[in-house]
């Protein structure tokens, strides 16, 4: 490799246009994202037929609501849907239990 008089490597011609890299546009801040506890509440509400996730749904939902209020994240609708789905599962479980209970 040859060196010019200033001690730097020689400068060649500019590379072709297809090889020149453009600077990426700056990333825009989109604000706080969706709350993970809200997503967990929603999922547990959907799979509430297993019984135990219903309790987890309510615990995760209240944690999510506190964090959403404090941080301004999104996910309040997911919490409401999770609560609604778990409520429906509770009603279904109670109805099935009432059907299976023998009458005297």
The string of pLDDT tens digits covering residues 37-74 is 999 999 999 998 777 889 999 999 999 999 999 999 99
Task: Report whether 82 contacts 44 (CB < 8 A).
Answer: yes
Furthest C-alpha separation in the chain: 108
For 72-90, the pLDDT digits (tens) are 999 999 999 999 999 999 9
pTM of the model: 0.67
Question: How far is 75 from 19, CA to CA, in rounded Å?
Answer: 44
3 contact partners, CB below 8 Å, separation of at least 6: 9, 10
The rounded Cα 37 to chain-centroid distance in angstroms is 8
65 compared with 21, residue with greater pLDDT: 65
**Helical H segments across the chain, by residue range:** 36-46, 52-71, 76-100
Among residues 76, 82, 80, 96, the alpha carbon closest in space to that of 53 is found at 82
Instruction: Output the six-digit token pair for 75.
Output: 């996910």
């Amino acid at each position: 490799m040859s060196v010019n008089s200033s001690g730097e490597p020689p400068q060649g011609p500019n590379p072709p246009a297809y090889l020149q890299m453009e600077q990426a546009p700056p990333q825009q801040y989109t604000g706080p994202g969706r709350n993970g506890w809200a997503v967990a509440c929603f999922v547990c509400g959907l799979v509430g037929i297993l019984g135990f996730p219903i309790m987890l749904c309510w615990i995760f939902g209240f944690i999510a609501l506190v964090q959403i209020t404090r941080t301004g994240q999104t996910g309040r609708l997911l919490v409401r849907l999770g609560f609604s789905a778990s409520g429906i599962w509770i009603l279904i479980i109670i109805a099935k239990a009432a059907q299976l209970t023998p009458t005297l």
